[in-house]
Amino acid sequence: MSVRCLVADDHPALVQAVVDFLHAARVEIVATAADGDHAVMLASETRPDVALVDFRMPRLAGVELLTALRKASPSTRLVVYTADADEAVVRGALGAGANGIVLKEAPLADLLRALTSVVDGSTYVDPALAALTVGQSGATALTEREGAVLALLAEGLTHDEIGSRLSISGETVRTHVRKACDRLGASTRTEAVAKALRQGLIA
């Protein structure tokens, strides 16, 4: 599958490394941006399949940047690429509509997996973020099957792939996702995965 990607980060050496790697993996880089305003303008012009975006950028950053990107190109999937493994960043990014989040310390192969997963309609949350904890008492209970489904969503699998792995139908997978969202008070499956990770319900 051909994937068109916008890369937005203010560290030139990192951008070059990422671009070179993605080129080698046959991902088309439609543009690169070194600040948030430029990223939004380029997203509007190029309408990429996915935008890989640093959460902390000059001029426009964080939740405001993701919101602006979503408005500029609603069909573009958003993957946050960040060095900050803290709850505030994860909560802010996923709450603003990010479809995936990858730590910069992760192998580039994980980055490629995240991009292709979100373009396929899945959610991707860096496995290392499972180490995050929330200072709250008690955790929302999930059934064993709901936990298994969310864990596989976190790995980037699609509903049909999860169904095949668990020997259930894709529609049954969707039902488990909906129930897990209800239990966790999440409005999207991305938010459900993030909450389950933070609460230690899945690893």
Residue at 138 is within a domain: no
Q: Stretch 175-194: mean pLDDT, rounded?
A: 85
Q: Is 32 helix (H, G, I), strand (E, B) or coil?
A: strand
Q: Stretch 177-200: mean pLDDT, rounded?
A: 83
Are residues 123 and 153 in contact, defined by beta-carbon separation less than 8 angstroms? yes
Residues 116, 19 within the same domain: yes
pLDDT at 44 exceeding the cut of 70: yes
Residues 166, 98 within the same domain: no
Residue at 77 is within a domain: yes
Residues 188, 124 within the same domain: no
Residue with more model confidence, 201 or 189: 189
pLDDT at 137 exceeding the cut of 50: no
Count of CA atoms in the C-beta half-sphere (13 A) of 54: 24
**CATH classification of the domain holding 33:** 3.40.50.2300
Confidence of residue 13 (pLDDT cuts 50, 70, 90): very high
Q: Which residue, 103, 129, 155, sits at the end of a domain?
A: 129
Q: For residue 29, what pLDDT is reported?
A: 96
pLDDT at 36 exceeding the cut of 50: yes
The region of weakest confidence among 84-88, 110-114, 149-153 is: 84-88
**The domain containing residue 151 runs over which residues?**
144-198
pLDDT at 31 exceeding the cut of 90: yes
The total number of structural domains that make up the chain? 2
